[in-house]
Structure 1
């Protein structure tokens, strides 16, 4: 596009989930409840793990970070969506749009890498799930504070590197022909911006597919290799009760991985010809709103230590109130 003919876009208009005013009100109530429970559940999990010294192990440190990421990840999208449900004007400035994209892409990428870190196993320096099952006696010695900190930092650095690249190429390379430009989504998603660009988008599509593909597939490969090691080790356990307990340890992590990776891969690793705005909105609601709500439930309901810690805090609160 000729630079002289470029339109300087100062804001975007978000299409939202629906234009039906009655449905908007119902959806506002529904998602407000879900978002409130997301904040409550993840915050409680963070408090429990921080408060109870018995929960200070690598698995729970990872879980605390996952809860923090879920709060930030969901908030980057859900707050804006709730505002648009009750607002007549659904416009967002370019700065606000870029900040939202940076936040959700950064925390989304961090969650992918964190889930991989929770099952990482390089050259028998086993981490979290694999170590907890295969080397329980050396668990805390193998996963020391330095390696734990390194894995967490790598997760955040990798995630936000993805966010900065996606945001930079979206707002400094794409051309938009109208002001305000209508975005056919309920938040500033990179695919939605590519779809409304009136210039050449091949570079953006290649970068999106390459970066998201690398993060998703490399993380998924690490997880699959780690669980293959776990399955081989568990099958060597003679006791059926022991095998059941070992597989139960992995069930929560596998459930979260399946939901999160499955929805992200379906969303961002499809050919451009398969994109559908309405379908994309439904998938986006699942991985930005529903999954952060379900994650603390999945981990806490199957975790005896977390439930015991919650019971102790509850008894302590009741005791303090009775005094």
Structure 2
């Protein structure tokens, strides 16, 4: 197993990690010959908790790439996101010409200062050099403990969209809706919100919070939203929607003009940082789930997908 990478800019990777660092302490990095996936998922409760899958075409972020393994040249590892993010920040401050990344295995004695607890018998080494004010070369090396996930490759799968749903492109100002909903995070009700979307009346999106016998609050996005049914519910169709809303003409009159799904308010609100920073956001809503498909900027360099499973209302 070999992993060797070199990059001169970590800005977009650093920003991607910053957007999801509040979700979980550990993330999964999946290196393939063509893509780097940054995955935030709770492995013990995949079906009930939200997930984030970030896709970075590896050739756009690294100049030198060597990846080899017995599993189709795929390498998966679990790593502490805060340690990785801090190291990238240190590199940016150092004004170095390049960051080198290596996967280093350790023996069972735990050499190189890497803990062997919880299977973390390897480290991701990040090193770079810079010149200090005395014109001396200073070398920096950071080793972050990682857990190699050999079996996870067969089990870890990006969620699939099997239900027919509706999609809509959310404006950048939509982040204000998260701020309005944030007022309810400390209330005593059952911490759930019903999301309703419709193609009728020019398209609308509303959020309903209710505690039986006590209150019912409805919040709607009043500006016009183009709501459509995607040509297909698969991932590639939704990725195309990030650039242009693709409509299936035959499906526009199939009777599917309104949908709602109930999700945990906390899960929905945790997407606010992603939605607030990404340039393009597409909401996909189906009867038992929803997801937010985002592009970090005007390029395809970083794609983030935030998946939320529905709950019973």
- TM-score (norm. length: structure 1): 0.23
Which structure: greater strand fraction?
2
Q: TM-score, normalised to structure 2's length?
A: 0.23
- Structure with a larger share of its residues in helix: 1
RCO comparison, higher one (Cα < 8 Å, 6+): 1
